[in-house]
Amino acid sequence: MKNIRNFCIIAHIDHGKSTLADRLLDFTKSVTERERKEQLLDNMDLERERGITIKSHAIQMVYTYKGEDYVFNLIDTPGHVDFSYEVSRSIAACEGALLIVDAAQSIQAQTISNLYLALENDLEIIPVLNKVDLQSANPDEVTDDIVDLIGCKREDVIRASAKEGIGIEEILNAIVERVPAPKGDPDAPLRALVFDSVYNPFRGIETYFRVFDGSIKKGQNIKFVATDKNYSADEVGTLKLVQFPKKEIKAGDVGYLITGIKNAKDVKVGDTITDAENPTKNAVAGFEDVKPMVFAGIYPVETDEYEELRTAMEKLQLNDASLVFVPESSAALGFGFRCGFLGMLHLEIIQERLEREFDMTVITTVPNVSYNAFTLKDKDKPIIVSNPSDLPEPTYLDRVEEPFIKASIITKSDFVGSVMSLCIEKRGQITNQTYLTQDRVELSFDMPLAEIVFDFYDRLKTVSKGYASFDYSPIGMRKSKLVKVDVLLNGNTVDALSALLHVDNAYDIGKRICEKLKELIPRQQFDIPIQAAIGAKIIARETVKALRKDVTAKCYGGDISRKRKLLEKQKKGKKRMRQVGNVEIPQEAFMAVLKLND
């Protein structure tokens, strides 16, 4: 066990995490020339194109240091805030972390939040200053920032460039010297932490785990503590670029397990694996069920593709257990699903994967968060509202609570005013303001989650000219004055466009939705009234004017009454059309609410 080192890499998006992982694999000769490619651990095309890690990966390397072989287990972590629970489980499986900071961009919000996670788990932090070869790099200044942040010595910070291969050997040596070897009792009952799972269409779910105590052998009867189910370990092994089956994985090591489980819900990230006959008394702490934060309706464009969409969603769920969906129907869109996501990036990824992997074109309704509603009859028992149409009538409603988050924003001091006014506009309350350096400020806000679901991130980047970085964590539910705003087209409510909004913003947003829809809805042969309403009260109205045929074209001269007669005849026809007219709504209209500020 003394020659094993388990470590992860924590960094903000685009600070060079995947590239550094590639260089470590090259240097330890874990990959051959033939297998080598950029972002080797990112399997999806989507990850490569966007330059983000969506699914965490693990890989084993062997490094020779002073004549001794050391086994390195690199547990990669996703970079985005939506996947913070997965990051926390990956960190819990390690003893050390490489903290990567871009020498040009300095410390960002996610660097700090992931660093705090690592420090809570008592990880040994190795600071690495990446991209020192860039012309825009400020290595000395950023080194001072790192020293201030984690309280290390200047000489502890390793200067590197993952692209050019500078400093890679120093990093590997530091892992051997500074990261402690795993501790654990090889003779105790088996206790292992599940930090990831992947679906293999031929073999079922592959579970990735880290053994803390005891060992796991091929053919052993094992038990998952959270789900309380027993399985037989058909195959165990270590994770290199391909899987290496082994007879036994001992304490301190990382490996994979195949048990023939077919359903992703049966393997929960953060669960503890133990022996079925001789279970451990203390499971690994920190397990929780991942709760979706953002909800949206996903509907097929053609209603007869409903079953195909269900199959596609079920297949996606095998790979991604945090996706939750239930069938729902809408008067405007027919049959579809109400889906729960970890955040907006997760929603975008699912939508993109449906289109790429399953060739499904879908309509997504306006995302919203989950609220707790309390009725006058039952003031203590909340009704969970994840769809605006589930909200009880205002006459029965006692109060509504909405989820709040603690947002931490790091920006240059020049943009503090504009960032603050954006957050206050989004109903944020400032709780703290800290100057990290002379020109970098960390602002903390308490904000409703619903306000950041829309266009918050894009607007934050705009007001700060791309310099602000953003991170958040949930802080529970708070009472709020919310109303349901319905959109009526031609007098009919379009349930897919309904939204739950704060009273103060309802009139303004209702008016802007009507204006936006007026631009998007094509003109018909009749007038289309677009109205926003709270209950029975109309709060805004726009009208899409009718297209008119020039019925007077055939009148050459003569009395004016001839023209008037034709126009009156046309007017009567238009009236008759309005009573039965149906409106076609283009796909963009359903997402119009997200782009109200464009």
DSSP labels for 277-336? SS--SSPPTT--PPPP-EEEEEEESSGGGHHHHHHHHHHHHHH-TT-EEEEEEETTTEEE
pLDDT of residue 124: 84
- State the pTM of this model: 0.71
Q: Does residue 133 have a known ligand-binding role? A: yes
Q: Does residue 16 have a known ligand-binding role? A: yes
Q: Which fold has domain 4-178?
A: Rossmann fold (3.40.50)
Q: Could you tell me if 4 and 71 are in contact, meaning their C-beta atoms sit under 8 angstroms apart?
A: yes
Domain with CATH 2.40.30.10 in the chain: 191-275
Domain with CATH 3.40.50.300 in the chain: 4-178
CATH class, domain 294-365, is alpha beta
**How high is the mean pLDDT in each 10-residue block of the chain (598 residues)?**
80 72 75 55 53 65 80 75 71 82 75 76 82 76 78 77 78 82 80 80 82 83 82 82 78 82 76 80 73 81 85 78 80 81 79 82 81 83 80 82 85 85 87 81 87 75 74 82 85 80 84 86 82 87 82 76 84 70 70 63
Q: Could you tell me if 567 and 552 are in contact, meaning their C-beta atoms sit under 8 angstroms apart?
A: yes
- The predicted-structure confidence for 570-598, as pLDDT tens digits, reads as follows 888 777 766 566 777 776 677 666 666 65
Q: Does residue 130 have a known ligand-binding role? A: yes
What is the token pair recorded at 578? Answer: 């309005």
Q: Does residue 55 have a known ligand-binding role? A: no
What would the CATH number be for the domain defined by 484-595? 3.30.70.2570
Domain with CATH 3.30.70.240 in the chain: 387-480
pLDDT of residue 145: 78
The H or E element spanning position 341 is strand 334-341
- CA pair distance 207, 45, nearest whole angstrom: 23
Q: Does residue 19 have a known ligand-binding role? A: yes
pLDDT of residue 228: 79
The H or E element spanning position 362 is strand 362-364
pLDDT of residue 38: 53
Query: Of 496, 579, 499, 486, whose CA–CA distance to 538 is shortest?
Result: 486
pLDDT of residue 580: 60
Q: Does residue 484 have a known ligand-binding role? A: no
pLDDT of residue 53: 60
CATH 2.40.30.10 for domain 191-275: yes
What would the CATH number be for the domain defined by 387-480? 3.30.70.240
Q: Could you tell me if 302 and 286 are in contact, meaning their C-beta atoms sit under 8 angstroms apart?
A: no
Q: Does residue 14 have a known ligand-binding role? A: yes
Report CA-CA distances (Å) from 70 to 62, 184, 570: 6, 18, 87
Report CA-CA distances (Å) from 284 to 76, 186, 211, 217, 276: 20, 16, 10, 20, 16
pLDDT of residue 242: 72
β 124-130/158-159 pair status: parallel
pLDDT of residue 341: 82
β 204-213/243-246 pair status: unpaired
Domain with CATH 3.30.70.870 in the chain: 294-365
